[in-house]
Structure 1
Amino acid sequence: MTQPMLMLNDGRKMPQLGLGVWQMPAEGTAEAIATALRIGYRLIDGAAMYGNEAGMGQAVRDGDVPRDEVFVTSKLWNDQHGRDRTLRAFDATMQRIGLDWLDLFLIHWPAPQQDLYVETWKTLIELRDQGRIKSVGVANFQEPHLHRLIDETGVAPAVNQIELHPSFNQPAMRAVNRRLGIVTQSWAPLGRTADFDAAPVAQAAVRHGTSPAQVIIAWHLARGLSAIPKSQDSGRLQQNFDALKLRLTDAELDEIDALDSDARTGPDPDVFSG
């Protein structure tokens, strides 16, 4: 199956659908990613805080898919902001992963109380210019944080990864990212299953003969979002990937849009520092 790609503002392309490895046990990470790569996934989203970067790198190194065909992401945790700490943390990430470069490196949270995210962003740009990272981005950044990065460096993030699912679908932040030329990537894209029983999702699943998870993933893709659902189960990995074939109607998409109720499940980026 052809993997749809999203164009980033730095001229590179990123697979639209990927595998997230948050809360994936370190001992099972390599096997889950190896299965995902065999199925056809080409985007793997990890982070230093997840504690499984080594398994992520092992799966990519040992797999049959050429390195330049796998889009590997990791993230910098909040206690590593600031130039020197960012450089040390990135070196540690690369040592754990064991790859020559990262396709995407993100500032995991803005942690605005520290007031170091601009300095940290400048350091990511430096690493990109050295060729150690192909693209740089952020996660959980709000509009003021994004504008400050761009105003002070002239460089917009390629990606802003934010919590996004039908009951918290963030139309305002999606519009901000779009205006700034930033790809929106959805974490917790399945809403931790809370949206599975919502009428528009459940009814669409019955009509199309699919699972609720497939309906929600298809909604993300139809709305131009990148989605990174997590699973270690080979059957669910395949089902999630098969959502690439599902086409929802405009009416179904609009009904799922209407589920938005500001039901955030994670921390508030304006106050969270980890």
Structure 2
Amino acid sequence: MNIGDMPLSLNSTVTLRSGRVMPLLGLGVYQNTGPTATTACAAAFRAGYRHVDSAQVYRNETEVGQAVKESGLVREMLFITSKINSRNHGYEKTLTWIDQSLRNFGLEYMDLFLIHDPLSGKERRLDTWKALIKARDDGKIKSIGVSNYGVRHLEEIKSASLELPAVNQIELHPFCQQRPIVQWCKDNNIIVQAYCPIMRGQRWDNPVFKELSLKYGKEVPQILIRWSLQKGFSPLPKSIHDERIRSNANVYDFAIDDADMEKLDSLDLGDMGAVSWNPIHAP
């Protein structure tokens, strides 16, 4: 059964190839630094989120870790992600930066750690991937994956006879559907995470969005998040506002019907629809 075909709730999870369980809906914390990162995570935990997506370049691992500590939640209930960007790629450098992330978070392990982007070139990408495997085997990370990887980057891991990622996190929304990447991941048992699922608030005035918002009695970002869930993705909407964080999770009391899903699917503009950096074509 595909993820999008399952009954969905805020407690919905997916089992990764590592055997670990990941909550489908997560809180994104890009550009959220200082105390607001801690308060946003705290609001998300109160609203029922158990998944937070951070990264080294976001400069908020310490603040996310503080929210985890203050939440009172059992560590095993939470799913915390970070990423290493291309500037820090390489085998030894990656191992060093993984340890730094653990110190920043104040955690004994991370649930998921990703290669943030493929911009370092084939050799350093593969060395970085080998380092992630090593850190996972050493118990510092529970699951490993990639972000912004196109098909060619995924193929190079497979061609090197290395284990495939558990996750590929890419920009995904109706205007940027990345269908070849999504299909490759589906064919190879890689869970697709969707960043920018609500398109950073851009193009919300699209007539299709307005029509469906009126029909279902939901706000446009709720329509977009529900579309992502029904497509089988793991969406990571970002907000610093308590009310919006709760609203983004209020997507389980309706379902978009097939005809309306097709209307949303028809909006795809390929790479031209991206609202973020989307470096999937890196050499």
**If the length of structure 1 is used for normalisation, what is the TM-score?**
0.95
Shift of 1:84: 1.0
CA distance in 1, matches of 2:143, 2:125: 17
Identify the match of residue 47 of structure 2 among 39, 59, 64. 39
Q: Which position in structure 2 is the counterpart of 1:222?
A: 230
Q: Which position in structure 1 is the counterpart of 2:4?
A: none
CA distance in 2, matches of 1:198, 1:180: 34
Shift of the 6–267 alpha-carbon distance from structure 1 to 2, 3 Å rule, reads same
Q: Which position in structure 2 is the counterpart of 1:265?
A: 275
Q: Which position in structure 1 is the counterpart of 2:78?
A: 70
Shift of 1:245: 2.7
Shift of 1:125: 0.4
Native 8 Å contact 1:80 1:86 kept in 2: yes
Superposition map of 1:1-274 within 5 A? 2-113=10-121, 115-262=123-270, 263-270=273-280
The letter of the residue matching 1:54 is T
Native 8 Å contact 2:89 2:120 kept in 1: no
Shift of 1:192: 1.5
- Structure 1 alignment gaps of length 5 or more: none
Moved over 6 A (4+): none
Native 8 Å contact 1:111 1:270 kept in 2: no
SS at match of 1:224: coil
SS at match of 2:184: helix
Shift of 1:178: 0.4
CA distance in 2, matches of 1:7, 1:201: 31
Native 8 Å contact 2:182 2:192 kept in 1: yes
Shift of 1:173: 1.1
| Percentage identity across paired residues of the two chains | 35
SS at match of 2:170: strand
Shift of the 22–67 alpha-carbon distance from structure 1 to 2, 3 Å rule, reads same
SS at match of 1:245: coil
Shift of the 230–186 alpha-carbon distance from structure 1 to 2, 3 Å rule, reads same
